[in-house]
């Protein structure tokens, strides 16, 4: 997806499809946080469990990786510059 309009369309469509769904659990395990001058980034393993409203379907049990890149604003705050998420699989024994 590229551009605010396309991202907004995607999010509106997802929101419409998920009416009544409930987040049961969410976990983020951060593995890399870096600050370099005006830039910063972090990445994490993510796990979400989302329950459908009618409970006749199985819960969504999603896993993935998340990356966030930030820039420093003129007022010193950080603003998201880039975000990325990809689908993953349940980790096996380590």
Q: What percent of the chain has pLDDT over 90?
A: 57
What tokens does 59 get? 């819960």
Q: Give the architecture-level CATH label for domain 21-87.
A: Roll (3.10)
Cα–Cα dist 81/70, whole Å: 5
Residue 92 has pLDDT above 60, yes or no: no
pLDDT tens by residue, 17-49? 888 999 999 999 998 899 999 999 999 999 999
Sorted by where each begins, the domain ranges of the chain are: 21-87
Name the pairing type of β-strands 78-87 and 22-36.
Answer: unpaired
b/e map of 15-37 (b: 16 or more CB within 10 Å)? eeeeeeeeeeeeeeeeeeeeeee
């Amino acid at each position: 997806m590229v551009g605010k309009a396309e991202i907004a369309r995607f999010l509106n469509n997802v929101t419409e499809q998920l009416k009544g769904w409930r987040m049961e659990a969410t976990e983020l395990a951060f593995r890399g946080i870096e600050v370099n001058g005006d830039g910063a980034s972090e990445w994490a393993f993510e796990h979400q469990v989302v329950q459908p409203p009618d409970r006749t379907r199985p819960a969504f049990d999603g896993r993935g990786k998340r990356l966030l890149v930030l820039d420093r604003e003129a007022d010193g705050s950080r603003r998201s510059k880039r975000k990325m998420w990809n689908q993953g699989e349940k980790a096996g024994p380590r």
